[in-house]
């Protein structure tokens, strides 16, 4: 049993440099609190991120951190988990990082069911690179790359991961810090791939109706609506309202989680170790015959 770890035990000396009022400050504080509740020490945790404002998070923690290439956080996180299955692996990124250049990696981490938690800070815009359209920008949004309004239909992150078969899907907002903290903790504890879409407003380039004050007025906790997180069809139906309604809470939690990919890999390794030892020459012969 580990000694009690306070939220500040996960806080690094590096000072966050987000714009004042950015939703990512709230996400970071919720992370500290969730990790304190989980109780895993920093040296047993690895934060993996891509590129963007939200991807700075690994540097603000005392855990292991790896700031990777744009859109490549998920495959690298899978490698980390397979190399050291005992690590708690958390991936942090934005909507552009995760559903544009990195979108092709999403279905594969879900189908493998690697035991990691993916936190996407969704602000519907590219904040770090001065406010261009992102994959989740609403149609009609005027930005520096769409001065007359976007012509594109946005990606629905919730519907996307649900359709691919994710076992844990939730949505949060920094406008509800206790709720967001609880969701992140629950996602970390889920035995398999978990996804939390966090509506984290961009104070500099975001729309006024997408800021925290507006979130507080608009958000509708799923628990208050009587939603059953075990009902996948109901979750899919609710997820369709992305962009029009701000539902918060757990959309779907698989009541019978399948085995994780990392657990299956470890099982295979044990099985192979029980067999006859294979020399290097025999392994090479197998490749040559193929």
Torsion from C-alpha of 32, 35, 37, 38, nearest 10 degrees: 180
So what's the pLDDT on residue 206? 79
Question: Rounded to an integer, what distance in angstroms lies between the CA atom of residue 244 and that of residue 154?
Answer: 12
The rounded percent of the chain whose pLDDT value lies above 70 is: 99
Residue 207 covered by a domain:
yes
Which portions of the chain are predicted below pLDDT 70?
A: 1-2, 278, 290
**Structural domain total, the chain:** 1
Within 10 angstroms of residue 44's Cβ, the number of other Cβ atoms is 14
Classify residue 269: in a domain, yes or no: no
The tens digit of pLDDT for each residue in 121-155 reads 998 888 888 878 889 888 988 888 888 888 999 99
Buried b (16+ CB within 10 A) or exposed e, 109-136: bbebbbbbbbbbbbbbbbbbeebbbbbb
**DSSP 8-state class, residue 290:** -
CATH code where residue 14 lies: 3.40.50.970
253 domain-assigned: yes
Residue 276 maps to a domain: no
- Judge whether 56 lies within some domain: yes
CA-nearest of 44, 38, 86 to 262 is 86
Strand order in the sheet with 64-67: 64-67, 45-49, 88-94, 117-122, 194-199, 168-172, 247-253, 220-221
Is residue 233 one of the residues assigned to a domain?
A: yes
d(CA 253, CA 165): 11
- What pLDDT sits at residue 207? 81
**Residue 1: its pLDDT value, please?**
45
Residue 46 forms part of a structural domain = yes
pTM for this model (two decimals): 0.92
The domain of 35 spans: 7-258
pLDDT value of position 208 = 78
Query: Is position 289 within any domain?
Result: no
């Amino acid at each position: 049993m580990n000694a009690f770890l306070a939220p500040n035990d996960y806080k690094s000396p590096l000072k966050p440099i987000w714009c004042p009022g950015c939703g990512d400050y709230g996400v970071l504080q919720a992370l500290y609190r969730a990790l304190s509740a989980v109780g895993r020490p920093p040296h047993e945790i690895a934060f993996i991120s891509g590129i963007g404002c939200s991807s700075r998070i690994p540097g603000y923690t005392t855990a292991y951190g790896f700031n990777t290439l744009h859109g490549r956080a998920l495959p690298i996180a899978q490698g980390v988990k397979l190399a050291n299955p005992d690590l708690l692996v958390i991936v942090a990124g934005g909507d552009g990082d995760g559903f544009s250049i990195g979108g092709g990696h999403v279905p594969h981490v879900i189908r493998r069911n690697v035991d990691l938690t993916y936190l996407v800070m969704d602000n519907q815009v590219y904040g770090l690179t001065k406010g261009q359209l992102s994959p989740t920008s609403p149609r009609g949004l005027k930005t520096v790359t769409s001065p007359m309004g976007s012509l594109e239909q946005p990606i629905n992150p919730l519907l996307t991961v649900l359709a691919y078969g994710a076992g844990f899907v939730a949505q949060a907002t920094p406008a509800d810090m206790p709720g967001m903290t609880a969701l992140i903790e629950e996602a970390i504890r889920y035995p398999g791939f978990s996804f939390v879409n966090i509506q984290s407003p961009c104070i500099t380039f975001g729309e006024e109706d997408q800021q925290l004050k507006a979130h507080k007025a608009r958000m509708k906790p799923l628990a208050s609506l009587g939603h059953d997180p075990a009902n996948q069809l109901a979750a899919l139906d609710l997820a369709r309202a992305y962009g029009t309604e701000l539902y918060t809470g757990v959309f779907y939690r698989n009541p019978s989680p399948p085995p994780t990919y990392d657990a299956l890999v470890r099982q295979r390794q044990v099985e192979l170790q029980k067999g006859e030892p294979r020399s290097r020459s025999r392994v090479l012969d197998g490749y040559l015959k193929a």
